[in-house]
Structure 1
Amino acid sequence: TKAAKNARRRAEVQVKGDRNIDFEKDAARQELLKLELHKKIKWSHGAKDRQRMVVTSIEGVSDQMNAITSQNLDHAPVRRRVRPTFTQVQEQLDHVLFKVHV
């Protein structure tokens, strides 16, 4: 890879005074980490991904709540639209972390 080539070109570089970094060892360590991560992740494509994305409805929960569970909450605008639905539930929570001491 490009990082490995750069690491071989400059085995040691003086960084911030007396601190030396051995880029060759660092590049080798990063390659090992990439291999380990690649082994842990099971890659799949196609129909399996689509099946995994399907959200089943939860029994005993309103249609509105089921619609919310299918939303992608990774983005702030969606979270803002969803938040008012849970205000009634949040007000009913009785936990020491939620109590306000005035």
Structure 2
Amino acid sequence: MRIHPGETLKEMMEDREYSIYDIAHRIQNYRLNSFNHNRWFPNAQIDTTEILNEVKMVLSGGDIDLITAIGFGAAFGTGHEFWLNLQNNYDEELDNNKNE
């Protein structure tokens, strides 16, 4: 049985002793550095509350989208593909269980 990405997130947070605020801060720093060097978003504002809500949503069973995966990849040094693969594998398992 596949594990929801939120469970992996919890384990990784516990292993590194990160709080949701630590994760949000890391994601915020990544986005600020990325967006402020982007000509399309020269003065981008990053809402910490929005980031906290993204983390909480995944921890409570929500899906990981590309933007969230990029943030988690930056926060944990895993790359966004890791998080998208977790979500895709979980979704495939759910679909397989529905078809049985």
The alignment's TM-score, normalised by the length of structure 2, stands at: 0.28
Structure with more relative contact order (C-alpha pairs < 8 Å, separation 6 or more): 2
Q: Which has the higher strand share?
A: 1
Indicate the structure (1 or 2) with the bigger Cα radius of gyration. 1
Q: Which has the higher helix share?
A: 2
The alignment's TM-score, normalised by the length of structure 1, stands at: 0.27
